Amino acid sequence: MSFPFLRLPQVVLSIIVNLAEPNQLICLTQCSKRSYNLVKTYRKKSENVKIVIGGFGNTVEVFLDGTENCRLILDSVYRKQNYVERDYPRTNLFGADFQLALYFSKIWELNWYDPTTDGVLTLIDWTTDLFRTDVSSLRIWNGNVHVHRLKWIESRQGRIDKLNLWAHDYRDKELQCLFHSKAKKLHLRSVPSWFQYPGVLPSGTFFRSSESLWFTLNHLMTSDFIELRIHNSILTNSNVNQFLKHWLAGGSPRLKTLSLEIVGVDINEITRGIGNIFPEEDFRSQEYWTPTGNQLTFKDRIYLKRSDGVIATCCITDYKIHQMLILAVWPDSKNNACLINNF
């Protein structure tokens, strides 16, 4: 004899629905139209649930407390993904009319047979509606279909939190479009060997480049980010020296954390001709929390002070085969102040 789940009091149903994990809720929605409506009625928005669109393969990933809880994938007979770029039809394919197959543990599969539309957009629409949340981040590999998805997502919700970009096979026009996305955080993981970006980078909250042969002194001097991380760059000690003088003069006012990986970094060359430098007299290590939640630990460091009283720590840390120059502006994201007190 089955347990009469749907006959439970509304208060009990609400508690059960909001305690259930995303994968369990998806399973419940597939039982019947009524069970789907039950989830839709009682499910409250949760900040712990994040929706991530995978770039390699057609996947929609649901994270709970930072860990992937389940995944929805598109099983399409049209592998080339030659979708027509047109307005996506907003249809209600939910409950008993929206059949997902349990492909593997916590992996759901949707069969898709329409070559004119992108079935991943259907999965995004359904998942974000079910969990009352927006798309948190998007991972983009090759293929202009992902550019189309980004545009579609931004047209619905305004902006996403993070865009991860593997762009080694993209055309210049597509790269320009991705660089000007509305994402708060942009992580450029790879670019074509010929890539160049003329002019000023679009402002944002966070920018990270893993392959930065294209990144110039002009990009550094004109950047407008709260957190900037540049790896494998061709910048020199002299370039960094110019930037520190620029920062001390009041430039890059929004910058809180700068991480630069350069070859042959030398703290004496970087600080040559710069006043308002104070060595560390307190030899205790100090933690610093970046705006994106990363923890840095400073040991050997110096301090810089601008004319407006803003203080920053400058140090060199080991990173893989090279070294990273860190410039961290106080207070940190947890409102901690620096240890030095002789300014």
From CA 73, how far away is CA 155, in angstroms rounded?
23
CB atoms within 10 A of CB 101: 12
Does residue 102 come out as left (phi exceeding 0), alpha (psi in the -120 to 50 range) or beta?
beta
Chain centroid to CA 276: how far? 35
Question: From the CB of residue 194, how many other CB atoms can be counted at a distance below 10 Å?
Answer: 7
pLDDT value at 343 more than 60: no
Structure confidence by residue, pLDDT tens digits, 226-266: 999 999 999 999 999 999 999 999 999 999 999 999 888 88
Give me 235's structure tokens.
């910048």
| Closest residue by Cα to residue 326 from 299, 293, 292 | 299
Mean pLDDT, rounded, for 34-40: 87
Residue 104 clears pLDDT 90, i.e. is over it = no
Judge whether residue 314 has pLDDT over 70.
Answer: yes
**What is the pLDDT confidence band of residue 201, given thresholds at 50, 70 and 90?**
very high
- Say what the pLDDT of residue 318 is: 79
Res. 74: pLDDT tops 90: no
What pLDDT sits at residue 21? 94
- Predicted structure pTM score: 0.84
Average pLDDT, the chain: 84
* 276-295 tens-digit pLDDT: 787 776 677 889 999 999 99
Average pLDDT over residues 147-172: 86
Least confident segment among 98-112, 206-220, 315-329: 98-112
Residue 106: is its pLDDT beyond 90? no
pLDDT at 119 exceeding the cut of 90? no
Distance (Å) of CA 184 to CA 75, 169, 210: 31, 24, 18
